[in-house]
């Protein structure tokens, strides 16, 4: 019988780190992270992994923690295993045991020094707004329906571009965060209107708790001319968190991808799997103002 220290060394040598490209429909889940009450994506995934590789308890680590109801098109997750399942079989094996709202796109082998969260250079989110008078049943699970006013996307774009760089974004941080500070770097932003759809992409080195939904709420208030550009800028630059009250709903938000020094997955599995809806965009004009 091996000593405990030697057994640990043997276990370490047999460990493999598997990275997953993961998609999930966030509706019905209490977010990515395991919670005492509610079903999380993490807990469901870990249970499926443990069934396939029961030799040691598994903890799945994600590139970014999504809130309740938020979707993911290219979430990156890693876990360590010591079983004999080939890495090429993990995706199909997990998909056979996961609910249909969670899909593994690809599984690849990574060094034990690689980390889904700490090795990431950026995270990218997309928010979709449906800016039409008429409801749309098929867009409602994936977008925020704003129908009273036509959004001023030009003004919203000016405000969004002003956020790039390293700044204190305390005004866009929900209470309850255990982060030691509220600084982060927004690396890239993009706002496009396609007919009745306004799509906003934000890429950053990291995001504060609730940051994107609070930010989108302020952008929409600006786009509806309920606040002006000066008020928008003053609120975040002067850290006026108490004035940032409206958060965009979770269903319009999607974690698009995380980026690393080198590509982890094939382009088909790891780049941009969330569709840019174009229902009334290219071939037909936007709806008239309500």
Active site residues: 67
What is the secondary structure of 182-247 as a DSSP string?
-EEEEEEEEEEEETTEEEEEEEES---TTHHHHHHHHHHHHHTTSS-HHHHHHHHHTT-GGG----
Q: What is the largest CA-CA distance in the chain?
A: 77
- Alpha-carbon gap, residue 121 to 226, rounded angstroms: 35
For residues 137 and 131, is the Cβ–Cβ distance under 8 A? no
Locate the DSSP E strands across 71-219: 71-81, 102-110, 122-130, 144-145, 165-168, 183-194, 197-204
Secondary structure (3-state) at 171: helix
Tokens 């709202």 correspond to what residue?
Answer: 101
Distance of alpha carbon 236 from alpha carbon 182, whole angstroms: 11
């Amino acid at each position: 019988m091996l000593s405990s220290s030697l057994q640990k060394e043997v276990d370490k040598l047999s460990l493999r780190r598997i990275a997953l490209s993961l998609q999930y429909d966030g509706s019905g889940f209490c977010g990515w992270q395991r919670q005492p009450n509610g079903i999380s994506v993490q807990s469901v995934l870990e249970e499926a992994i443990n069934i396939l590789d029961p030799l040691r308890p598994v903890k799945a680590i994600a590139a970014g923690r999504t809130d309740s109801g938020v979707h993911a098109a290219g979430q990156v997750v890693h876990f360590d295993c010591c079983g004999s399942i080939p890495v090429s079989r993990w995706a199909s094996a997990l998909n056979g045991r996961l609910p249909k709202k969670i899909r593994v796109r690809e599984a690849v082998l990574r060094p034990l020094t690689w980390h889904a969260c700490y090795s990431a250079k950026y995270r990218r989110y997309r928010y979709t707004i449906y800016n039409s008078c008429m409801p749309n049943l098929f867009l409602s699970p994936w977008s925020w329906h704003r129908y009273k006013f036509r959004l001023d996307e030009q003004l919203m774009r000016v405000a969004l571009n002003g956020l790039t760089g390293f700044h204190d974004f305390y005004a866009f941080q929900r209470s309850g965060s255990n982060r030691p500070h509220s600084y982060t770097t927004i690396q890239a932003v993009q706002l496009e209107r396609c007919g009745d759809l306004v799509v906003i992409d934000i890429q950053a080195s990291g995001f504060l708790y609730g940051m994107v939904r609070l930010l989108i709420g302020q952008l929409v208030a600006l786009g509806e001319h309920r606040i002006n550009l000066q008020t928008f800028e003053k609120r975040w630059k002067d850290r006026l968190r108490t004035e940032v009250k409206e958060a965009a709903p979770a269903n319009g938000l999607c974690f698009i991808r995380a980026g690393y020094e080198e590509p982890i997955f094939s382009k088909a599995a790891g780049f941009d799997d969330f569709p840019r809806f174009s229902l009334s965009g290219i071939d037909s004009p936007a709806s008239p103002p309500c």
